[in-house]
Amino acid sequence: MSTTTLWRPTGPVELDLVRAADWKAWPPRLPEQPIFYPVLNEDYATRIARDWNLRHDGAGFVTRFEVDSAFLARYPVQRAGGETILELWVPAGDLPEFNAHIVGRIEVVHAFR
């Protein structure tokens, strides 16, 4: 199976929920969050974790995880700014199926405190 590496800037509350799921799933979105958006590169995730999560949540984390590439094909890459600001927009209702296609564990690769 081919996998794609995805990244997610994460605050401490979300990270605690991922830990509670044994590092295998993302928590359900809140009602005001209709989209789950993993990003396609480490630099973009790092900028969000460091510049947004740290300032607003007191800590920011960059996570990395693998997802079945064939499954991800249903989500076109979204350009949310410059050339390297690339995301996938996963509807909140798709998150349980998305989680089922994570290969291995979600891991923290950078922490900002």
Show Cβ contacts of residue 102 under 8 Å, excluding neighbours closer than 6 positions. 24, 25, 65, 66, 67
The structure's pTM equals 0.95
How does pLDDT run across 74-100, given as a tens digit for each residue? 999 999 888 889 999 999 999 999 999
Q: Which residues of the chain have pLDDT under 70?
A: none
The rounded mean pLDDT for the chain is: 97
Structure confidence at residue 9 (pLDDT): 98
Q: Go through the domains of the chain in sequence order and give each one's CATH number.
A: 3-112 (3.20.170)
pLDDT at site 81 = 82
Distance CA 1, CA 3 (A): 6
User: Which residue type is seen at 48?
Assistant: I
Cite the beta strand spans of 1-113 per DSSP E: 3-10, 35-36, 60-68, 77-79, 86-88, 90-91, 102-112
